[in-house]
Amino acid sequence: MFKYSLVGYDGSDTSRRGFELAMSLARLSHGRVRVVSVLQVTEGGADACALMMADSGTRRAQELLDELKTMEPDAEALVDIELAHGSPGDVLINQVAQHDCDHIVIGHTERGALARWLLGSVSGDVLARAHVPVTVVR
């Protein structure tokens, strides 16, 4: 059974369902859940993003924890939260190695072919590169 599941969380319905699944697995296996919310900045570059994260990081982390606790009241005891910036697929793959996660849970959002071609698919990217089991929630 998985001991440390990584959840890519963006507030969408599928990421919420993914979080709930990861919490159920954590309870069954006496494990933990790492929730990562990735801010992808397309204008202003990494410096602007780092400044923005520093200004609002602590507040946003608390807001995210409060949101997660509305879904799963015991979240505070089982969840580690990280706010990151960058490409979501890259951030999630790097988190696995940095924090010894043994499972990834990620939501999948249906997009048209053009949007997928222009923006890519985070779930497809993670599936292609992950070296741990990945659960895609629809």
One digit per residue, the tens of pLDDT, for the chain of length 138 reads 899 999 999 999 999 999 999 999 999 999 999 999 998 765 555 665 565 555 567 888 999 999 999 999 999 999 999 999 889 999 999 999 999 999 999 988 765 554 444 445 788 889 999 999 999 998
pLDDT of res. 117: 47
Domain count, the chain: 1
Pairing of strands 103-107, 79-85: unpaired
- How far apart CA 56 and CA 41 sit, in angstroms, is 15
Give the closest residue to 39 by CA, choosing from 55, 16, 21.
Answer: 55
Q: Give the DSSP letter of residue 136.
A: E
Give the closest residue to 136 by CA, choosing from 74, 89, 66.
Answer: 89
Token look-up 């602590």 returns 58
Which pTM was predicted?
0.85
- How far apart CA 3 and CA 110 sit, in angstroms, is 29
Give the closest residue to 91 by CA, choosing from 13, 49, 55, 37.
Answer: 37
On the 0-12 / 13-18 / 19+ scale of CB atoms within 10 A, 96 is: buried
CATH of the domain at 44: 3.40.50.620
Domain that holds residue 61: 4-137
Whether residue 35 contacts residue 68, with contact meaning beta carbons closer than 8 Å, is answered with yes
- How far apart CA 101 and CA 3 sit, in angstroms, is 8
Non-local (6+) Cβ contacts of 98 within 8 A are none
